[in-house]
Amino acid sequence: MDETKTLSVHLLQQGVWDLPLESMPLASGYVKAAALSDERIRRQADVKIFNFRGGDTLMEMAQEIFEHEPPDVMGFSVLGWNFREFGALAETFKQVNPDGWAVFGGTHVANQADRVFRLFPEVDVVVNGEGELVFKDLLNARLDGASRHSLDAVSGIAYRNRAGEVVTTLPRERIDNLDVIPSPFLTGAIDLTDDKGTFRYDVALMETNRGCPYKCSFCYWGGAVGQRIRAFSRERLRAELELFAQLEVHTVVLCDANFGILPIDAEFVADMIEVRDRYGYPQALETSWAKNKSKLFYDIVHTMKQAGMRSSFTLALQTLSDDALKTMNRRNMKVNEWEDLAEWLDKEGLDCYAELIWGAPGETVDSFMDGYDRLSRHVSRIAVYPLQLLPNTDYAEKKQEYGIVSVRGDRDDFEYILSHDTMTLAENRLVKRFLFWSRVMAENAVLRSFWVAVRELTDIKQSDVLRNLDAWVAETEDPAAEPLRSAVARVGGDDVSYGEAVKFLFGDPNGKRLLERWWSEGLRPTIEHGHHGHLELLDEIFRYDLVTQPIYRSPESQERPEELPTVEFRNTRYYIRRNVPFKYDVPSIVAALRSGTRGSIEAVNKTVDLYYRLGAENFVGSTNHEQVVYFMGMPLDEALASTQS
């Protein structure tokens, strides 16, 4: 620590996944930037962020943090996936500095002081909501010599008094003018580059606003639910975008709950495109889009498409069952009129995926499978998340009313649902098995064009294809199926097994070979018996999906990565695979099938050059399907259309 400073502060964050690139510690960055905007804290305190990866062990984290003098204050940014680790580190912290303050903040612990203090007696303070101004007040209280058992003057927290009773101070108003929080990027609070000066994170995380007008029963969006939306100023966001552009950041991910709901969102996109035109970056924008698709939304999407600014469009439906919509408190959302939107996105050639939740009270196996298949007639990439009970949500509070029985995760502190009044344990297991395949094959886009082809050229349902694969993998004597079988056996709340399966299918030649075998032995014969034509075309489209998988070699694979030449255009480097022969013009046929303008389909020999963006290893296996699709092989015109025009 700098000699002139008297207060040492550590802020800890830990991402979800264990990938080569780190996740950006946005929450700690805000908290640090706000603290350092206080003249006295800036003079007296040394504030340092420790940012860990999902795979970092407790031992590794402890060694890094406690290698030097322990700090006076440790602030932990707690989410369901790091709750236990941070509880353990708080315990270590108090061994090395019994007078230190351990402060827990973040969505997973806000308003949960009783449980936090019970499980982790070493924690001194729980912050209930936005942390920037609260943490600043806490540091000033510490500098004033306050006791950690007497913090009444700091609103928005819970602590324990000398008698050990939990004291909750007055709630703090939400920050109305967000620009009072200094930008963690522009002030340098977050380290943006590595030793070589390269942007060090997988993506840039940003917020353009905070708040959400809805109040869905499963959600606690950083405490924003049911709150008026407040926005950061255009000038500030633009300056942040310029900084990211200079650092050649490919993708910006917005933490907003409903992007495209406010007129200023159109201005943000206009600024992003202008910045991109000047610097070549950023090239993609990922976000949670507004649930109510207004003219503004369509205008924004259209503008982005014309400018070649990539994004994935989510139909955040969560369920198609009326009974489940009722318990979710989402019945009146316009997103439920989704068919027109899906059709429009398809016609515009925009990447679209849908999100469902399995296991909400009111949902049954039949209503879920029916919804899945109705949806898959329009959208093949369906991400299905099993319902987790999150703290501070309506479902968590109404557990008894819905007869919910849950179990905490092995690796995290989320509550996974076992059963409730409309779902038995056995039904849940059955669907989880199905979800495994859906997440791997459809959500993570192991197959892509093939779904469209099956939908348009046969009457087989997407769920039938997935069940067929499940049964074939369970029965085949091919030893290469073993990793998949063991991943299915671990199906539960465990996200890791999906990631492993995706790595295997994208990154191990055995995975591709196995898929080919399944197609010819498992699925293809069922289509033949169903009297469907177009089998040769389906063969070629299946092969196209395999050959356009990202260029990626799984760490487990024994074989050397494929060596392909590279080219660069429009600031992006691609591997190129030249002259791949097909018996049909697959890209054009798939585009026509997608847009519903299929004419007659004829076999014509066609060779295609395929372009694959470099860097897939930073994303494959993270279950981050929004990112993975950027690494698929594509013909030149698609690659050009997906970068700046």
Bond preceding residue 121 cis, omega within 30 of 0? no
Cα–Cα dist 394/226, whole Å: 12
What letter does residue 23 receive in the DSSP assignment? P
Q: Name the one range near ligand SF4 by CB under 6 A: 155-163, 207-215, 466-474, 488-496.
A: 207-215
Binding status of residue 608 toward ligand SF4 by CB under 6 A: no
Q: Name the one range near ligand SF4 by CB under 6 A: 208-216, 361-369, 455-463, 510-518.
A: 208-216
Binding status of residue 319 toward ligand B12 by CB under 6 A: no
Nearer to ligand SF4, 190 or 212 (CB): 212
- Minimum Å gap between C-beta 171 and ligand B12 is 14
Print burial letters for 462-483: b (CB count within 10 Å at least 16), e (below 16). bbebbebbbebbeebeeebbeb
What, of ligand B12, ligand SF4, none, does residue 222 touch, CB below 5 to 8 Å by kind? Answer: ligand B12
Q: Name the one range near ligand B12 by CB under 6 A: 70-78, 88-96, 289-297, 346-354.
A: 70-78
What, of ligand B12, ligand SF4, none, does residue 108 touch, CB below 5 to 8 Å by kind? Answer: ligand B12
Cβ count near 32 (within 10 Å): 26
Binding map of ligand B12 across residues 16-55, x = CB under 6 A, - = no contact: x------xx-xx--xx------------------------
Binding status of residue 356 toward ligand B12 by CB under 6 A: no
What, of ligand B12, ligand SF4, none, does residue 216 touch, CB below 5 to 8 Å by kind? Answer: ligand SF4
Binding status of residue 550 toward ligand B12 by CB under 6 A: no
- Minimum Å gap between C-beta 613 and ligand B12 is 19
Binding status of residue 138 toward ligand SF4 by CB under 6 A: no
- Minimum Å gap between C-beta 257 and ligand SF4 is 4
Cα–Cα dist 126/156, whole Å: 9
Q: Which of residues 423-452 bind ligand SF4 (CB under 6 A)?
A: none
Among residues 142, 291, 420, 439, the one that binds ligand SF4 under rule CB under 6 A: 291
Q: Taking the mean position of all CA atoms in its chain, how far away is CA 104?
A: 23
What, of ligand SF4, ligand B12, none, does residue 412 touch, CB below 5 to 8 Å by kind? Answer: ligand B12
List the beta bridge partners of residue 48.
10
Among residues 79, 272, 590, 632, the one that binds ligand B12 under rule CB under 6 A: 79
- Minimum Å gap between C-beta 158 and ligand SF4 is 24
Among residues 50, 135, 214, 611, the one that binds ligand SF4 under rule CB under 6 A: 214
- Minimum Å gap between C-beta 562 and ligand B12 is 28
Token readout for 484 is 């998949």
- Minimum Å gap between C-beta 213 and ligand SF4 is 7
Binding status of residue 219 toward ligand SF4 by CB under 6 A: yes
List of residues 6+ apart from 178 with CB closer than 8 A: 209, 210, 230, 231, 232
Among residues 154, 181, 205, 212, the one that binds ligand SF4 under rule CB under 6 A: 212
Nearer to ligand SF4, 37 or 292 (CB): 292
Residue with tokens 């917005």: 254
Binding status of residue 215 toward ligand SF4 by CB under 6 A: yes
What, of ligand B12, ligand SF4, none, does residue 137 touch, CB below 5 to 8 Å by kind? Answer: none
Print burial letters for 334-369: b (CB count within 10 Å at least 16), e (below 16). ebbebeebbebbbeeebbbbbbbbbbbbbbebebbe
Indicate left, alpha or beta for 170 from its phi (over 0: left) and psi (-120 to 50: alpha). Answer: beta
The amino acid sitting at 400 is: Q
Residue with tokens 């995926």: 353
- Give how far Cα 184 sits from Cα of 24, 241, 468, 500, Å: 11, 13, 49, 34
Q: Name the one range near ligand B12 by CB under 6 A: 124-132, 297-305, 400-408, 547-555.
A: 124-132
Among residues 21, 151, 216, 590, the one that binds ligand SF4 under rule CB under 6 A: 216
Cβ atoms of 250 and 261 closer than 8 Å: no
Three-state SS annotation for 147-207: CCCCCCCCCCEEEECCCCCEEECCCCCCCCCHHHCCCCCCCCCCCCECCCCCECECCEEEC
- What phi and psi, each to the nearest 5 degrees, are found at residue 315? -95, 95
Q: Name the one range near ligand B12 by CB under 6 A: 79-87, 244-252, 317-325, 530-538.
A: 79-87
Q: What is the number of residues in the chain?
A: 645
Binding residues for ligand SF4, rule: CB under 6 A, are 212, 214-216, 219, 221, 225, 257, 291
